[in-house]
Structure 1
Amino acid sequence: MDSERGRDPDRPQADRVALVAGATRGASRAIAVELGRAGATVYVSGRTTRHRASEVGRTTETIEETAELVTAAGGTGVAVPTDHLDQAAVRALTERVAREAGRLDVLVDGVWGGDHLMDHPGDFGRPMWELDLDKGLRMLRLGVESHLITLRYALPLLTARPGGLLIELTDGTAGFMRRYRDHLYFDLAKSAPIRMVFGLGKELAGLGCTAVSLTPGYLRSEAMLDTYFEVTEENWRDGTARDPHFAISESPALVGRAARALATDPEVARWNGQSLSSGQLARAYGFTDTDGSQPDAWPYMTEVVEGREPDVADYR
């Protein structure tokens, strides 16, 4: 990236522009807010607005609210309702960023919205031929096709100058994804961004840009808290009664801080093409979650999958 000399250490992204695709809620929203906290102008896109809900069916989080949170954190939030499966809409989004901001320094490709297509937990462990085909194909459209469309229209602006950073959000590290995720469509959707970054890392490096994939750990998203565990961020530990592994969970702020650390690192190219996690980067850069801990969920979950009984304290 450009030289950091002379930057306000509290607002190192003050002259930077980011686009966070799929920033309605969860990890993408947290990333948008943290980039705003660093002073960036952050365009946030997604399908759920104050006037219209997406197929996910949640009306409690909207793209306008995300933009307001970005501005409240110290940046400039710009909400652009966008369906990232609509090529014309994505083209219009990137043309607007180019017209208004004249540059794009950070692209976070975090579109998803496919959890409702899985019958938790019943679909996991079922053979592919017993899963609903239409739901599976829709999951791939949401998790793979939408990313490719976003990349096609946003990368020309991101690569127009050296220093651009692409962050592909996913669920799982490359190491963990060597294991089958027990749902073929989900496995494909979450493996694809890792492979995209492997290839794009090669293509972007020659232009002085960087591509990484980034995953949170066991994420305490809005839906996870209020729908699945019926807890809040304040009493989330009560959720361990339902799932003891919830003890390794992390707030969305951790992955937000991971993205901010990458965006403000003048040596970010050292990560080019790699699969990264919030826990891994917390240790590399020295930041913590909101409670001061550094949860590192994926090594912990690896031991769980392998049948061991890890101690959460060793990974937090």
Structure 2
Amino acid sequence: MERTESAVRANTGPLAGRIALVAGATRGAGRAMAVELGRAGATVYVTGRTTRDHVSEVGRSTETIEGTAELVDEAAGAAGRGIAVPTDHLEPEQVRALVDRIDKEQGRLDVLVNDLWGGDVHLDFTAEKQPDLWEMDLGKGLRVMRLGIESHLVTSHCALPLLVRNPGGLLVEVTDGTEEYNRRYRKPLFYDLAKAAPIRMVLGLGEELGEYGCTAVCITPGWLRSEAMLDTAFGVTEENWRDACAQAPHFAISETPTYVGRAVAALAADPDVARWNGRSLSSGGLAREYGFTDVDGSAPDAWRYLLEVESQGRPADVTGYR
């Protein structure tokens, strides 16, 4: 019996046949976005600097792009698949080679996720007082600029010509904080600039991509329970993460990387995604729109909580926010 297109899509996922590139997919949000795009049926190219043979300046050898690709394969089943390509996105020739490979192997690119970062190792968020601009190590500050801004520009410059070849392409810039939240100064200055820049990028790229029938959005997770946040910042695991609330009570609003991964997959599968063009979005806001949840069935709205509770000096209480 001949199978209908809807039946095929039901068995292979809403993103069957789509090609995605998640730049910066070694760990955390990038890894989860790659996995969830694969779970929805996409073929996902995953890139980063840490492989099983080389560790980047982030210094976390247990999280690799090969590991991410394997998780994509596991989630995708017979639908999508993960393809690991070691890439330093500050090196244009490496990014051009990556895009040429995608073009040669697939002939198209439907989703580009710029989740490039790695700047935390050059900042000290545990300091009692964040330094003024002139007090910071200039070399570290400029490295933060390169990792958080230049890498995104290099990748978009190289990859967008392939994305715009077909209408419906989606660019997702990833940052930390919504447009509303980032109107506040988030010291130190280099971090503030690095996290405000992607929001401004999609404002311009939304106009440029819109002419080709494509869409640009900026998305932020909430307080992310990434691998580094759990074990380095708090010394806990995902299984006992609530123990960290004794140190930081507002950590009760935190979310897993899967939550923002599901947000990106929902955007990529939305036939009306162009309604978000040029917008700053969050995992919590998109959960209300698309109806997905975090892995525990909750739907944390971290940025609304941080504005209305934490920044107002109110005691930690996530009632009504997750």
Shorter-chain TM band: over 0.9
Which residue identity lines up with residue 55 of structure 1 in the other structure?
E
What SS is found at the alignment partner of 2:84?
strand
1:27-106 correspondence to structure 2 within 5 Å: 27-74=29-76, 75-106=80-111
Q: Is the 8 A contact 1:124 1:183 kept in 2?
A: no
Q: Which residue of the partner structure matches residue 263 of structure 1?
A: 268
Q: Is the 8 A contact 2:144 2:191 kept in 1?
A: yes
Q: Which residue of the partner structure matches residue 223 of structure 1?
A: 228
Which residue identity lines up with residue 23 of structure 1 in the other structure?
A
Q: Is the 8 A contact 1:44 1:66 kept in 2?
A: yes
Aligned counterparts of 2:71 and 2:187: Cα–Cα separation in 1 = 36
Give the deviation of 1:305 after TM superposition: 1.7
Aligned counterparts of 1:38 and 1:79: Cα–Cα separation in 2 = 18
Aligned counterparts of 1:161 and 1:128: Cα–Cα separation in 2 = 43
Q: 1:252 to 1:208 in 2, by over 3 A?
A: same
Q: 1:11 aligns with which of 10, 13, 19?
A: 13
Q: 1:204 aligns with which of 199, 209, 232?
A: 209
Give the deviation of 1:120 after TM superposition: 2.3
What is the number of residues matched between the two proteins?
Answer: 314
Aligned counterparts of 2:257 and 2:43: Cα–Cα separation in 1 = 20
User: C-alpha deviations, 1:81-115, integer Å up to 9, x for none?
Assistant: 00000010000000000000110000000110010
1:156-235 correspondence to structure 2 within 5 Å: 156-235=161-240
What SS is found at the alignment partner of 1:312?
coil
What is the TM-score normalised by the length of structure 2? 0.95
Is 1:297 paired with 2:302? yes
Give the deviation of 1:239 after TM superposition: 0.8
Computed over aligned residues only, the root mean square deviation of the Cα atoms, in angstroms, reads 1.5
Which residue identity lines up with residue 317 of structure 2 in the other structure?
D
Aligned counterparts of 1:58 and 1:166: Cα–Cα separation in 2 = 27
Aligned counterparts of 1:309 and 1:231: Cα–Cα separation in 2 = 22
Give the deviation of 1:127 after TM superposition: 1.2
Aligned counterparts of 2:143 and 2:235: Cα–Cα separation in 1 = 28
Is 1:307 paired with 2:309? no
Which residue identity lines up with residue 21 of structure 1 in the other structure?
A
Q: Which residue of the partner structure matches residue 247 of structure 2?
A: 242
Aligned counterparts of 2:223 and 2:52: Cα–Cα separation in 1 = 28
Moved over 4 A (4+): 3-6
Q: Which residue of the partner structure matches residue 139 of structure 1?
A: 144
Aligned counterparts of 1:191 and 1:124: Cα–Cα separation in 2 = 21
Q: Which residue of the partner structure matches residue 128 of structure 1?
A: 133
Q: Is the 8 A contact 1:19 1:106 kept in 2?
A: yes
Q: Is the 8 A contact 1:254 1:290 kept in 2?
A: yes
Which residue identity lines up with residue 288 of structure 2 in the other structure?
R
Give the deviation of 1:307 after TM superposition: 2.9
Give the deviation of 1:122 after TM superposition: 1.3
Give the deviation of 1:121 after TM superposition: 1.8
Q: Which residue of the partner structure matches residue 285 of structure 1?
A: 290
Q: Is the 8 A contact 1:4 1:12 kept in 2?
A: no
Give the deviation of 1:126 after TM superposition: 2.2
Which residue identity lines up with residue 45 of structure 1 in the other structure?
T
Is 1:254 paired with 2:259? yes
Q: Is the 8 A contact 2:24 2:30 kept in 1?
A: yes
Aligned counterparts of 1:202 and 1:310: Cα–Cα separation in 2 = 40
User: C-alpha deviations, 1:53-87, integer Å up to 9, x for none?
Assistant: 00001101000000010011112100000000001
Runs of 5+ unmatched residues, structure 2:
none
Q: Is the 8 A contact 1:217 1:296 kept in 2?
A: yes
Q: Is the 8 A contact 1:36 1:42 kept in 2?
A: yes
Q: Is the 8 A contact 1:123 1:183 kept in 2?
A: no
Aligned counterparts of 1:261 and 1:14: Cα–Cα separation in 2 = 13
Runs of 5+ unmatched residues, structure 1:
none
Q: Is the 8 A contact 1:47 1:53 kept in 2?
A: yes
Which residue identity lines up with residue 262 of structure 1 in the other structure?
L
Which residue identity lines up with residue 296 of structure 2 in the other structure?
D
Aligned counterparts of 1:299 and 1:106: Cα–Cα separation in 2 = 28
Q: Is the 8 A contact 1:253 1:290 kept in 2?
A: yes
